[in-house]
Amino acid sequence: MSQARQQLAEQLAEAVFQALHDDLNHQERVLLVVSGGSTPVPFFKALAAKPLPWERVDVTLADERWVDEQSSDSNAKLVREHLLQRKAANANFIPLTCTSSTPEEGVDEVAKQVESLAWPASVVILGMGGDGHTASLFPDSPELTLALATDELLVAVRTPSQPQPRITFSADRLHQARRHILHITGDDKRAVLAKALNGDDVRQLPIRAFLTCPLAIYWAP
């Protein structure tokens, strides 16, 4: 882990801590929506050390692979192992999977698990892939148009470029958050973001759906 990426994770954790702290001053419960993948690990560790009343914090994911929680591909496993630790061990984590064998069968049940949370989310932290996807809004997904347009909470997604089926919050539900943050690292992702900022076809680079939120960008080489 480079020093720059570690500093970025610590600065991001401080910003998220302040946002949750501020919202907890005037609401009983707050909701934090995090992303999976590999980038958030140092951020999760830094945030887990922050002194919040974590028992009043709900945590869920922007998206999930429809895999068993023991799988190394599970975003929920990542959150449990790196965020729900230390001071944050008492946070209430709501995963985006259930016992159904497919996301299409399980999407309504998962929606019931998350619909009563303290929406709008205090903070949504998005990641981004090298193809410009964010959450599980993929450029090659047949469900992209639906996920960008629907006012439903969640969409089941099948994406040719991805080995597993997925479930994702809709763009609309993510848009409704109070604060939006993009957490990315590396020159390749900086180039993808630059391309996204210089064009407007959201189907080509779905991260564009969040460039007007406003979006705070946390990037390090």
* Cα angle 76-81-86, degrees, rounded to a multiple of 5: 125
- Answer yes or no: are the C-beta atoms of 137 and 147 closer than 8 Å: yes
> What 3-state DSSP class applies to 112?
helix
Handedness of CA 167, 136, 44, 60 (dihedral sign): negative
Q: Name the minimum Å distance from CB 126 to ligand LXAUTJHC.
A: 6
Q: Residue 57 and residue 66: Cα distance in Å, rounded?
A: 24
Q: Which is nearer to ligand LXAUTJHC, 22 or 104 (CB)?
A: 104
Q: Name the minimum Å distance from CB 28 to ligand LXAUTJHC.
A: 28
Burial of 172 (0-12, 13-18, 19+ CB in 10 A): middle
Q: Name the minimum Å distance from CB 122 to ligand LXAUTJHC.
A: 18
Burial of 63 (0-12, 13-18, 19+ CB in 10 A): buried
- Answer yes or no: are the C-beta atoms of 180 and 210 closer than 8 Å: yes
Q: Which is nearer to ligand LXAUTJHC, 57 or 96 (CB)?
A: 96
Q: Please name the amino acid found at residue 171.
A: A
Contact call for residue 36 and ligand LXAUTJHC (CB under 6 A): yes
Tokens of 39: 């980038």
Q: Which is nearer to ligand LXAUTJHC, 27 or 130 (CB)?
A: 130
Q: Name the minimum Å distance from CB 27 to ligand LXAUTJHC.
A: 26
Residues between 40 and 99 that touch ligand LXAUTJHC (CB under 6 A): 62-63, 75
Tokens of 69: 């929680």
Q: Which is nearer to ligand LXAUTJHC, 54 or 66 (CB)?
A: 66
Range in contact with ligand LXAUTJHC (rule: CB under 6 A) among 12-20, 30-38, 87-95, 170-178: 30-38
Q: Name the minimum Å distance from CB 37 to ligand LXAUTJHC.
A: 2
Contact call for residue 38 and ligand LXAUTJHC (CB under 6 A): yes
Residues between 113 and 142 that touch ligand LXAUTJHC (CB under 6 A): 127-129, 136
Residues found near ligand LXAUTJHC in the complex (CB under 6 A): 35-39, 62-63, 75, 127-129, 136
